[in-house]
Structure 1
Amino acid sequence: MRARGSTRPGRTSPGSIRARPTGSSSSCATVSGTPSPAPDDPLATVRERTRENLFWRHLGVEVADAREGWVRLRVRVRDELRNAAGAPVHGGVYSALVDMAVGGALATLHEEAAGGVGQTTLDLNVSFLAAATGDTLFAEGRILRRGRTVAFGETTITDAGGKLLAVGRATYMIIAKRA
């Protein structure tokens, strides 16, 4: 039994310091000293993260659209993203897109306003449904539920014709500000 006034295990009391997780962070976790775009412009928020994130730029991810809790990403397929020249797109690209789309959707919810400064992936699951053979992929991510410290989201990946290629889910930890 806990003493009166103590916090539950795994929780911090008000004013205490919550350490940042060690290890690699998500492909869309960006903690920078630059101010975020206005909270009423989710598209600008996600596009700013895209410009700052080297991995997003390496894959050629573009933000096609964004609203609060939702994002649509576009990737033009090139041979570097395939298993071999002319082959289907590598499954790792699908996995990265699930992570990026959920992370991008979470970024539209302005973790700073909720006391956080960033986010990191806790869990990622991808179901590969069809091989991508076209020249463009789209990933739509949306947040299913967002709590104070954890958020859950899902992504669908389609080709330009709307063919469903993959679905995935991701769980994120919202990184709290240091006291």
Structure 2
Amino acid sequence: MADTEKFDAQAAAQRLMSVPGLQAMQLLIDGQHDAPSIAKTLGFTLAEVEDGKAVFVGEPSDRILNPLGIVHGGWALTLIDSCTGCAAHTTLPAGVGYTTVETKVNFVRAITPATGQVRAEGRVVARGRTIITAEGTLTDSRGKLLAHGTSTLMVLRPSSSEARG
């Protein structure tokens, strides 16, 4: 996309929704679709996916510190929410989306820019017709646990009028 063109987030979302969730997530990894703005803003990327699983990697930096010089907990929570949500999305057919109902995270260790690259891995625990539950872990490069959590996600199916076109 040229620098002068405005990014149309809604059109981009519609393109991703036109394919099954696992394929949509793979398009992001393969660079065939722009990364979402949240990932660009907070410095993390989708690294791997399979059915019911999504992995993000991120670099904590000085841009996301709280007043005490520690990475803000919202960054870790966002990574857990992202990996669990994308894990859920890999299980959905084309045209079906999701939204987070709740994400709960337990912080185990402080994260600082010196922590280095982190890995957020989300896995679907249960998939129902309307609710998906998933769990996520955030670890450092040595595999040491930094945070863990769970997400409840609502499946969003098109309304019958949308399905008819």
Same fold (TM over 0.5): yes
Distance 1:174 1:38, change over 3 A: closer
Pair 1:125 & 2:99 matched: no
Counterpart of 1:73? Answer: 56
**3-state SS in 1 of match to 2:13:** coil
Larger Rg: 1
Q: For residue 156 of structure 1, report the CA deviation from its aligned partner.
A: 0.3
Q: For residue 37 of structure 1, report the CA deviation from its aligned partner.
A: 5.0
Task: Please give the alpha-carbon distance, in whole angstroms, between the structure 2 residues aligned to 1:118 and 1:40.
Answer: 12
Letter in 2 for 1:53: P
Letter in 2 for 1:83: N
Letter in 1 for 2:159: R
Distance 1:143 1:73, change over 3 A: same
Residues 43 and 67 of structure 1 are in contact (CA less than 8 Å); yes or no, is this contact kept in structure 2?
Answer: no
Structure 1 residues 86-117: Cα deviation after superposition (integer angstroms, max 9, x where no partner): x32110111111110001111211343xxx53
Task: Please give the alpha-carbon distance, in whole angstroms, between the structure 1 residues aligned to 2:120 and 2:50.
Answer: 14
Distance 1:99 1:91, change over 3 A: same
Residue 74 of structure 2, aligned match among 92, 112, 117: 92
1:1-179 → structure 2 map (5 Å cutoff): 32-34=13-15, 36=18, 41=23, 43-45=25-27, 47=29, 51-84=34-67, 87-112=69-94, 117-133=96-112, 134-179=115-160
Aligned residues between the structures: 146
Letter in 2 for 1:144: V
The alignment's C-alpha RMSD in Å is: 2.6
Q: TM-score, normalised by structure 1?
A: 0.71
Letter in 2 for 1:155: G
Residues 47 and 55 of structure 2 are in contact (CA less than 8 Å); yes or no, is this contact kept in structure 1?
Answer: yes
Q: For residue 51 of structure 1, report the CA deviation from its aligned partner.
A: 2.7
Q: For residue 174 of structure 1, report the CA deviation from its aligned partner.
A: 0.7
Distance 1:127 1:150, change over 3 A: same
Distance 1:157 1:50, change over 3 A: farther
Q: Structure 1 or 2: larger helix share? A: 2
Distance 1:69 1:31, change over 3 A: farther
Letter in 2 for 1:126: V
Q: For residue 78 of structure 1, report the CA deviation from its aligned partner.
A: 1.2
**3-state SS in 1 of match to 2:14:** coil
Structure 1: stretches of 5+ with no match in the other structure: 1-29
Task: Please give the alpha-carbon distance, in whole angstroms, between the structure 2 residues aligned to 1:96 and 1:152.
Answer: 16
Instruction: Give the % identical residues.
Output: 31
Residues 31 and 118 of structure 1 are in contact (CA less than 8 Å); yes or no, is this contact kept in structure 2?
Answer: no
